Amino acid sequence: MTPEQAVHALDALLDEAMSAIRPPLRHWDGWPRSTEQTTGGLEDRSLGYATATRERHVTTRVAPARYGALLGVTERGWQARGYRITAVNPRQPAMFATTPAGYGVAVLFGAAGNIAFQATVGPIPVIRDRDPFGTYVPEPTLPNGNLDVLPRHDDPFWSA
C-alpha cells in the first residue's frame, strides 16, 4: 500500500475503533509515522518494508471511574467488528487487538489521564530521504515542548 493509502486506512481504523463510544470523545490525530521492519538480533537487517502508525489523542477528560466503561464499550465494539483481542493490561489500562485484515489497534491510558487510540497498518515502502506522509504538520505542544496530550474538555458522562 502507498503511504497515502496507509493514512486513509489508519483514519478509517481509528474511526471504526471509536465508533461504539457514546457519547463520542473529542480528539486530535497525531502525525502518522513509519517504522522500518527489521530482522532484529545481531545481524539486524531491513525486511524491505515499513508499517504505518497513527495515534488519536483523546481530549475529553475521562474520569478514572469511567475507564472500565470505556474499555468495556470499546471491547464490545471491536468484537462486534470481528477484532481479536490480543492483550489487556489492567494495571496501566491498555487493550490491543488485531482486525480481520490483520491490522493492529490499541487503546492506551496514560498516567496523566491521557488516552490514545492507536492504529497500525502495512506494509508500506521504506522511504528514508523524506517523510513518506508529506510535509510534516506540527502537533500541539506544551510550553516545555512536550506533546500536548492532556485532556481539556469536560463531558457530562465521561468526566463525571
What is the tens place of the pLDDT at every residue in 135-154? 999 999 999 999 999 999 99
Cβ atoms within 10 A of the Cβ of 84, count? 11
Question: Does 98 reside within a domain?
Answer: yes
Distance CA 99, CA 82 (A): 7
Question: Does 132 reside within a domain?
Answer: no
Question: Does 146 reside within a domain?
Answer: no
* Res 41 pLDDT > 90: no
C-alpha cell, 31: 502525525
pLDDT for res 38? 94
Distance CA 147, CA 30 (A): 10
The stretch 29-54 carries a mean pLDDT of: 94
Question: Does 87 reside within a domain?
Answer: yes
Q: What is the CATH number of the domain that holds 26?
A: 3.30.980
pLDDT per residue as tens digits for the range 48-100: 999 999 999 999 999 999 999 999 999 999 999 999 999 999 888 999 999 99
Q: What residues make up the domain containing 53?
A: 3-38+48-105+113-124
pLDDT for res 90? 83
Number of domains in the chain: 1
List C-alpha distances in Å: 14 to 11, 28, 100: 5, 11, 15
